[in-house]
Amino acid sequence: MNEKGGVGKSMVACQFAFYAALKRGLRVLVLDFDQQGNTTNTLTHSGKCCVATVSTGKLLVNAEVPSAEELDAPFVLMPADNYLVQLERTGVTNHQTFILNLNNALETLDDQFDLCVIDTNPSPDVRATAAMANATHVLAPLELKQESLDGVFELLNKVRGVQESLNPELQLLGLLPNLVEKKPYQIAGLNALLTGAGKFLFMLPSGKPAAIPNAAAIAEAQGDGRPLWEGPRTKVERVSGICRQVWEAMADQMGLENRAEQQPQEKA
């Protein structure tokens, strides 16, 4: 979640979902709450998940869930729709209904999936609140640009507000710098972030703050609709390894199993 646009929420949602489903062997549900549908486009083009006939707008408004046949798939996407942008216009009296509808839908689906990944929209409305009100963890990607850094404490205050009023069990995984380059303004931005909000950064097991590089290989993977690691080895090997460390740290901090490691090894 981050109300700033272009910070990499959809990339993180897609690539973490690919990792959890295809490398960790988990049953994964993805909800795309952004009417722009970037996550919907990437996952749909991948051909690796079942695209449910029920969209997220219908889930929020009517608590609709995918069919039993669709729920048999181990990797399911509930796509975005154009109605999502109209939710805020229905008035604040319906906000509690949207939050409760999401809660009811997730309770219905709880036995079907190990993980639900929600990609939120880049504007301040009920969708991000509904997601955090029903989530166990929240991750906040951000760019090391001044306009993004200026909103860090507002972002943290929004998370804290949800924790205090709606979901005391919500845990902040942390702030995740994305599109990182070794440029003077980004180095200055990182130093400012470390000084002002260092304790909120998402950390790797090594004790170092996690960061996703600005790499063409990542943008190409998203555009092609595929997991990053499936690209040409010469292009993706380094950046895929960096991202894999971040996804593994996220999964471990969330207490997710690694079903792939539990599978019996095939005999030679």
Instruction: Provide the phi-psi class of 228: left if phi over 0, else alpha when psi is between -120 and 50, else beta.
Output: alpha
Each residue's pLDDT tens digit in the chain (268 positions)? 998 888 899 999 999 999 999 999 999 999 999 999 999 999 999 999 999 999 999 999 989 999 999 999 999 999 999 888 888 777 667 889 999 999 999 999 999 999 999 999 988 788 999 999 999 999 999 988 777 677 888 999 999 999 999 999 999 999 999 998 888 888 887 887 888 788 999 999 999 999 999 999 999 999 999 999 998 887 788 999 999 999 999 999 999 999 887 765 544 3
Domain 9-254 sits in CATH 3.40.50.1820: no
- Specify the pLDDT at position 40: 98
- Specify the pLDDT at position 233: 81
- Specify the pLDDT at position 266: 45
- Specify the pLDDT at position 92: 62
Helix, strand, coil share of the chain (percent; to 5): 55, 15, 35
Hey, what are 12's tokens?
A: 């993180």
Hey, what are 75's tokens?
A: 């990797």
